[in-house]
Structure 1
Amino acid sequence: MDKDRVKGTVKQATGKAKEGIGKLTGDAALEVEGKIEKAEGGIQKTYGKAKDALRKS
């Protein structure tokens, strides 16, 4: 498994947590930061999957 997949998964989880905390506390900036971090994690995870696929082919 590519390290970008792992880092992306962690980043998604962190972003999801920030988003949830932002919603609970009414902190819109933290909520947006979490959404952005979650999206970045998804992109990084997809990049890692693509690298894995290239290695296998």
Structure 2
Amino acid sequence: MNKTQAEGHYKQAKGKVKEVTGKVLGNEELEIKGKIQKKAGKVKAHVGEVAENVDQAIHDKR
């Protein structure tokens, strides 16, 4: 796991906490922000995965 993947997973977790907190408190705006942050974290983690795969492919060709 690289740094970008770790940051993405962390962002997903923070988003989930916001989403649940918003749902519990009845704060729709916080819930939506949490969902957005969760999705952004998922994208960032995927970008990190792709970068890791590219690095591995380059390393394997050497």
Which range, TM-score by smaller chain?
over 0.9
TM-score when normalising by structure 1: 0.98
Unaligned ranges ≥5, structure 2: 58-62
Runs in 1 of length 4+ with deviation above 6 angstroms? Answer: none
Q: CA deviation at 1:51?
A: 0.3
TM-score when normalising by structure 2: 0.90
Q: Distance in 1 between matches of 2:4 and 2:36?
A: 17
Specify the alignment match of 1:4 in structure 2. 4
State how many pairs are aligned: 57
Specify the alignment match of 2:51 in structure 1. 51
Specify the alignment match of 1:26 in structure 2. 26
Unaligned ranges ≥5, structure 1: none
CA RMSD of aligned residues (A): 0.4
Q: CA deviation at 1:2?
A: 1.5
Write the letter of the residue equivalent to 2:29.
Answer: A
Identity %: 37
Write the letter of the residue equivalent to 2:22.
Answer: G
Instruction: Work out which of the two has the higher radius of gyration on C-alpha atoms and give 1 or 2.
Output: 2
Specify the alignment match of 1:39 in structure 2. 39
